[in-house]
């Protein structure tokens, strides 16, 4: 029987970041990942852009507070920058241009974005159709996140602090004895007083195993595809470009153009694959938004984004099951909010004062679903 202070189920960005912060605080941590590598399902299939104006106000506040970590990670965390300074652009037609002002006004940091005209938008992304880009909301401080460097930095930190990362460790059974959790993970028995449920699309399943009430988390499929860059002269320095209604986005990525129809199709927890219709929709929306004519695709794939009913992450101890901690429901914002949520998790698990405002902590708590 392995004895730990905390057991974390789920090796995506939520689990590895929480294990990193708990390990830095001196806790003995075991991180259990059912797949052959961390970040297999959602984290490794994300467009991974740091955008402070993305998501609801709570998500935006969490993202903004993660900015310091991404721009200046802890000493020894990584040898490369975590965020490229390529920006993000929300474009609107003449009929939808009024929405840009509403987005800016609702932003957690309105000073971080600026509304620009058609000519400035086309200078940033020349392939936009002028009719679809009458104006745009530009966030120059946004940028692509190096997910590989981020995950490796977290994993190295876990190992430096003496934490255990177990791959291929599917949780088969969870029990509670004498104030401690006892977990069977692929034949290995582990025990700890606190269990952190960071299982993503499987979080409700883990709750059931532990005797906690599921929260109705909804896994959603997100489709992405890549195609050749349609220009001569190398990869352009375009920002992430998205229509203001969030029905399509695209950006240069690893020498190709990444595009998504921004779909959210209900899915089951498991390995998911792109639907041909969703890929076709992505191409159609890209061609409507830009002057690009898609001749062929290089690849397509799909990943899972798991949302709580109010589209806000769930972070905190379960109200009725002792020692059961939720870290789930990050939706499509898990990577960019990970540093803040990991720090909060470490503070709450250790019964330390939270660095976030009390109303934010309350808005994240699973207690909001009671009754």
Quick check: is 182 in a domain?
A: yes
Quick check: is 59 in a domain?
A: no
Mean pLDDT, the chain, rounded, equals 94
Quick check: is 70 in a domain?
A: no
Q: In this prediction, what percent of the chain has a pLDDT beyond 70?
A: 98
Decide: 139 and 53 in contact? Cβ < 8 Å: yes
Q: Which of 50, 323, 344, 331 is nearest to 178 (CA)?
A: 323
Mean local confidence (pLDDT), 81-100: 94
Mean local confidence (pLDDT), 283-293: 96
* pLDDT value, residue 254: 83
End of a domain among 258, 273, 307?
A: 307
* pLDDT value, residue 226: 95
Domain that holds residue 133: 88-140+218-307
Q: Which of 161, 164, 145, 117 is nearest to 48 (CA)?
A: 145
Residues 181, 298, single domain; the answer is no
Q: Which of 248, 230, 217 is nearest to 310 (CA)?
A: 217
Decide: 345 and 91 in contact? Cβ < 8 Å: no
Tokens found for residue 371: 């009754």
Mean local confidence (pLDDT), 21-25: 97
Quick check: is 14 in a domain?
A: yes
Is it the case that residue 210 has pLDDT exceeding 90? Answer: yes
Q: Rounded to the nearest 10 degrees, how much is the dihedral formed by the CA atoms of 30, 31, 37, 41?
A: 170
Report the predicted TM-score, pTM, of the whole model to 2 decimal places: 0.94
Q: Decide: helix, strand or coil at residue 361.
A: helix
End of a domain among 291, 307, 323?
A: 307
Residues 195, 226, single domain; the answer is no
Mean local confidence (pLDDT), 286-297: 95
Backbone angles phi, psi at 367, to 5 degrees: -65, -20
Is it the case that residue 41 has pLDDT exceeding 90? Answer: no
**Residue ranges with strand state E in 103-217:** 114-117, 135-139, 143-144, 164-167, 171-177, 180-185, 188-192, 194-197
Q: What is the CATH number of the domain that holds 237?
A: 3.30.9.10
Is it the case that residue 45 has pLDDT exceeding 70? Answer: no
Quick check: is 61 in a domain?
A: no
Q: What is the CATH number of the domain that holds 179?
A: 3.50.50.60
Is it the case that residue 275 has pLDDT exceeding 80? Answer: yes
Q: Which of 91, 119, 139, 63 is nearest to 250 (CA)?
A: 91
The model's confidence at residue 370, banded by pLDDT at 50, 70 and 90, is confident
Residues 174, 94, single domain; the answer is no
Is it the case that residue 39 has pLDDT exceeding 80? Answer: no
End of a domain among 279, 307, 335?
A: 307
**pLDDT tens-digit series, residues 165-191:** 999 989 999 999 999 999 999 889 999
**pLDDT tens-digit series, residues 320-368:** 999 999 999 999 899 999 999 999 999 999 999 999 999 999 999 999 9
Q: Which of 48, 70, 62, 15 is nearest to 311 (CA)?
A: 62
Residues 186, 205, single domain; the answer is yes
Quick check: is 75 in a domain?
A: no
Decide: 205 and 18 in contact? Cβ < 8 Å: no
Cα distances (Å, whole numbers) of residue 252 to 90, 143, 262, 283: 16, 11, 16, 15
Backbone angles phi, psi at 337, to 5 degrees: -100, -5
Residues 132, 155, single domain; the answer is no
* pLDDT value, residue 81: 86
Decide: 222 and 300 in contact? Cβ < 8 Å: no
Residues 205, 238, single domain; the answer is no
* pLDDT value, residue 222: 95
User: What is the separation, in whole angstroms, between the first and last Cα of the chain?
Assistant: 38
Number of domains forming the structure of the chain: 2
Is it the case that residue 234 has pLDDT exceeding 80? Answer: no
H, E, C per residue of 144-170? EECHHHHHHHHHHHHHHCCCEEEECCC
Residues 276, 354, single domain; the answer is no
Is it the case that residue 43 has pLDDT exceeding 80? Answer: no
Mean pLDDT is lowest, of 2-6, 20-24, 107-111, 211-215, for 107-111
d(CA 56, CA 247): 17
Mean local confidence (pLDDT), 85-90: 94
Q: Which of 224, 162, 169, 144 is nearest to 38 (CA)?
A: 169
Residues 302, 314, single domain; the answer is no
Residues 175, 200, single domain; the answer is yes
Residues 159, 303, single domain; the answer is no
Residues 118, 27, single domain; the answer is no
d(CA 233, CA 135): 27
The residue with greater pLDDT, 371 or 354, is: 354
Quick check: is 81 in a domain?
A: no
Burial category of 325 from C-beta neighbours within 10 Å (exposed 0-12, middle 13-18, buried 19 and up) = buried
Quick check: is 58 in a domain?
A: no
Residues 246, 361, single domain; the answer is no
Is it the case that residue 371 has pLDDT exceeding 90? Answer: no
């Amino acid at each position: 029987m392995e004895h730990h202070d905390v057991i974390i189920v789920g090796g995506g960005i939520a689990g590895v970041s929480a294990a990193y912060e708990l390990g830095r605080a001196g806790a003995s941590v075991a991180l259990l990942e059912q797949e052959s590598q961390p970040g297999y399902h959602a984290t490794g299939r994300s467009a991974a852009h740091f955008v402070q104006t993305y998501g609801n106000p709570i998500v935006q506040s969490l993202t903004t507070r993660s900015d310091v970590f991404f721009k200046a990670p802890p000493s020894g965390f990584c040898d490369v920058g975590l965020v490229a300074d390529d920006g993000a652009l929300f474009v609107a037609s003449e009929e939808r241009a009024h929405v840009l002002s509403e987005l800016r006004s609702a932003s957690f940091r309105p000073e971080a974005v600026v509304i620009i005209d058609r000519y400035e938008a086309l200078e940033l992304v020349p392939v936009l159709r002028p009719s679809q880009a009458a104006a745009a909301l530009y966030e120059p401080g946004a940028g692509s996140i190096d997910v590989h460097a981020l995950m490796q930095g977290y994993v190295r930190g876990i190992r430096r602090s003496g934490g255990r990362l177990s791959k291929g460790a599917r949780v088969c059974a969870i029990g509670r004895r004498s104030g401690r959790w006892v977990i069977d993970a692929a034949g290995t028995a582990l025990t700890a007083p606190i269990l952190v449920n960071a299982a993503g699309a499987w979080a409700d399943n883990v709750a059931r195993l532990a005797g906690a009430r599921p929260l109705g988390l909804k896994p959603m499929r997100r489709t992405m595809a890549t195609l050749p860059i349609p220009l001569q002269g190398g990869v352009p320095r375009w920002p992430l470009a998205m229509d203001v209604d969030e029905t399509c986005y695209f950006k240069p990525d690893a020498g190709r153009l990444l595009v998504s129809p921004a779909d959210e199709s209900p899915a089951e927890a498991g390995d998911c694959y792109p639907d041909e219709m969703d890929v076709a929709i992505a191409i159609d929306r890209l061609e409507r938004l830009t002057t690009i004519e898609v001749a062929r695709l290089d690849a397509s794939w799909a990943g899972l984004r798991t949302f709580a009913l109010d589209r806000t992450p769930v972070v905190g101890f379960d109200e009725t099951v002792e020692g059961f901690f939720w870290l789930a429901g990050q939706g499509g914002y898990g990577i960019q909010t990970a540093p803040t949520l990991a720090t909060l998790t470490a503070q709450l698990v250790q019964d330390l004062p939270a660095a976030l405002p009390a109303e934010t902590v309350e808005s994240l708590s699973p207690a909001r679903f009671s009754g």
